């Protein structure tokens, strides 16, 4: 992909559709440490393309998370092969910046002549040859639902279920402010198409491994709240990962527990990584306290209400820097602590 081929403007659905229809071989990628929207988006578009008779590979740097293995067709998610794939088109899904696809995944897709970039992160710099970025969408899965239905592409059962899980997990089970009437209308249409809501919600939310609860106990022992009550944060040392035999997905969504504390406006999860870097996840209840703007100060990104950073350690230094940045944002917005 050359710099000159990139367009700062969003592609239309029809332009994306022309690429999907006129090419035969595709590799679909999503970000490292994939969540439900990342994996769901790959499966949704991947199975739609397969139903069109296309050759499709689904690649993720970290492979399939255990908590998404219930999705039909998820066994198609594979680790990057060592040799670049012979494909015409690479499609990056739900990935704010190209490096977050991972070095091995980028190498596997390096022979692709065209790159599509489909995402909902406001911080996405539009690194594709064609970009479809909608930061107003609650999930990349919803963008793909719109794309598939508008272009009248096939929507097999695998795509249907994957879209629902993608959107459900990225909206806190349809609770976050990004959820719109359009989101519920999409869900209703998926139900009409045969989605088994009860079963898929149970598989998504009611099948946690015991080690996830052990992690919760360990995190609660580190919980702190700033004196003004506006920020709650907890810390996961890398030793906990070793002691509890944790998988990356085991911490997914746990930050919502402290986000739900009355009076807290921003929740922060500090995680010590094996390479010595610190992963910082932030959630905000109020767009005045835009955590994406805070994240960009440290080279991260995301959304106004949910953003992340990877930064140098040690963890105590990272905590000090990030918490100071959050309170600078509070000072600028002149918040009033809730009672």
Domain check: are 45 and 91 in the same one? yes
Burial (CB < 10 A; 0-12, 13-18, 19+), residue 264, is buried
What the block records as the tokens of 320 is: 């000090």
The shares of helix, strand and coil residues in the chain, as percent rounded to the nearest 5, are 40, 15, 40
* pLDDT tens string 124-146: 999 999 999 999 999 999 999 99
User: 161 and 144 in contact (C-beta within 8 Å)?
Assistant: no
At residue 285, what are phi and psi to the nearest 5 degrees?
-95, -10
E strand or H helix that includes residue 58: strand 55-60
Neighbours of 163 (CB within 10 A): 33
Rounded distance between C-alpha atoms, residue 141 and residue 245, angstroms: 30
Residue 339 in any domain: the answer is: no
Digit-coded pLDDT (tens) for 80-103: 999 999 999 999 999 999 999 999
> Quick check: is 338 in a domain?
no
> Is residue 144 in some structural domain?
yes
In a shared domain, residues 173 and 220: no
* pLDDT, tens only, 34-93: 999 999 999 999 999 999 999 999 999 999 999 999 999 999 999 999 999 999 999 999
Per-residue confidence (pLDDT) for residue 278, from 0 to 100: 97
Count of the separate structural domains present in the chain: 2
The domain boundary, picked from 173, 205, 237, lies at 205
Q: Mark whether 45 and 158 lie in a shared domain.
A: yes
Band the pLDDT of 8: cuts 50, 70, 90.
low
Q: Both 89 and 119 in a single domain?
A: yes
Q: How far apart are CA 139 and CA 40, in angstroms?
A: 10
Average pLDDT over residues 159-177: 95
Q: Are 70 and 94 in contact (CB under 8 A)?
A: no
Coil vs helix vs strand at 280: strand
Give percent above pLDDT 90 in the chain.
91
Characterise 11 by phi-psi region: left (phi > 0), alpha (psi -120 to 50), beta (else): beta
In a domain, 152, yes or no: yes
**Residues 155, 217 within the same domain:** no
Distance CA 149, CA 153 (A): 6
- What's the residue count for the chain? 339
Question: Residues 128, 176, 133, CA angle at the centre, nearest 5°?
Answer: 15
State the pLDDT at residue 332.
Answer: 84
pLDDT tens, residue by residue, 236-295: 999 999 999 999 999 999 999 999 999 999 999 999 999 999 999 999 999 899 999 999
- With respect to residue 167, please indicate whether it lies within any of the assigned structural domains: yes
* Residue 198 Cα to chain centre, angstroms: 23
| Enclosing domain of residue 216 | 210-333
The CATH code of the domain that includes 185 is 3.90.1640.10
Domain boundary, last residue among 153, 182, 205? 205
Q: How far apart are CA 68 and CA 248, in angstroms?
A: 12
Residue 26 has pLDDT above 50, yes or no: yes
Do both 96 and 13 map to the same domain? Answer: yes
Structure tokens at 279: 């992963």
Q: Which residue, 167, 188, 205, sits at the end of a domain?
A: 205
> Both 144 and 21 in a single domain?
yes
Strands (E), 61-105: 77-78, 89-93
In a domain, 68, yes or no: yes
Residues 230 and 245 in one domain: yes
Is residue 245, in this structure, part of any structural domain at all? yes
Please indicate, yes or no, whether residues 181 and 249 belong to a single structural domain of this protein: no
Of the candidates 219, 217, 212, the residue with the CA atom closest to the CA atom of residue 247: 212
Q: CATH code at 318?
A: 3.10.310.30
What is the full DSSP assignment across 119-133?
E--TT----SSEEEE
Same domain, 237 and 302: yes
Question: Nearest-CA neighbor of 270 among 244, 284, 251?
Answer: 251
Same domain, 174 and 44: yes
Same domain, 214 and 240: yes
Helices (H), the chain: 13-22, 36-51, 103-108, 140-150, 157-170, 181-192, 197-205, 210-220, 238-243, 255-259, 291-296, 315-333
Mean of pLDDT values over 201-226: 97
């Amino acid at each position: 992909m050359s710099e000159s081929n990139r367009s700062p403007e969003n592609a239309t659905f029809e332009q994306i559709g022309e690429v999907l229809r006129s090419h035969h071989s595709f590799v679909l990628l999503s970000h490292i440490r994939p969540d439900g929207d990342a994996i769901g988006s790959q499966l949704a578009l991947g199975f739609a393309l397969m139903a069109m008779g296309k050759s499709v590979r689904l690649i993720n740097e970290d492979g399939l998370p255990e908590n998404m293995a219930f999705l039909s067709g998820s066994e198609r998610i594979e680790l990057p092969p060592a040799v670049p794939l012979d494909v015409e088109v690479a499609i990056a899904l739900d990935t704010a910046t190209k490096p977050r696809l991972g070095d091995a995944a980028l190498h596997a897709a390096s022979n692709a002549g065209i790159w599509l970039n489909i995402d909902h992160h406001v911080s996405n710099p539009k690194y594709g040859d064609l970009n479809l970025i909608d930061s107003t969408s609650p999930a990349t899965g919803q963008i793909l639902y719109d794309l598939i239905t508008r272009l009248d592409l096939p929507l097999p059962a695998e795509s249907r279920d994957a879209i629902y899980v993608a959107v459900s997990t990225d909206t806190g089970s349809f609770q976050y402010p990004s959820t719109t009437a359009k989101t519920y209308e999409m869900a209703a249409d998926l139900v009409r198409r045969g989605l088994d809501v009860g079963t898929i919600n149970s598989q998504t939310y009611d099948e946690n491994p015991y080690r996830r609860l052990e992690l919760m106990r360990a995190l609660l022992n580190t919980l702190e709240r700033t004196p003004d009550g506006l920020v709650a944060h907890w810390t996961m040392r890398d030793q906990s990962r070793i002691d509890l035999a944790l998988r990356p997905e085991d911490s997914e969504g746990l930050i919502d527990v402290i986000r739900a504390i009355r009076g807290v406006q921003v929740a922060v999860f500090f995680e010590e990584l094996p390479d010595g870097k610190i992963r910082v996840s932030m959630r905000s209840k109020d767009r005045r306290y835009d955590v994406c703007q805070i994240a960009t100060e440290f080279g991260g990104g995301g959304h106004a209400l949910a953003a992340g950073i990877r930064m140098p350690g040690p963890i105590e230094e990272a905590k000090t820097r990030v918490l100071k940045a959050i309170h600078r944002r509070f000072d600028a917005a002149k918040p009033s602590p809730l009672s």
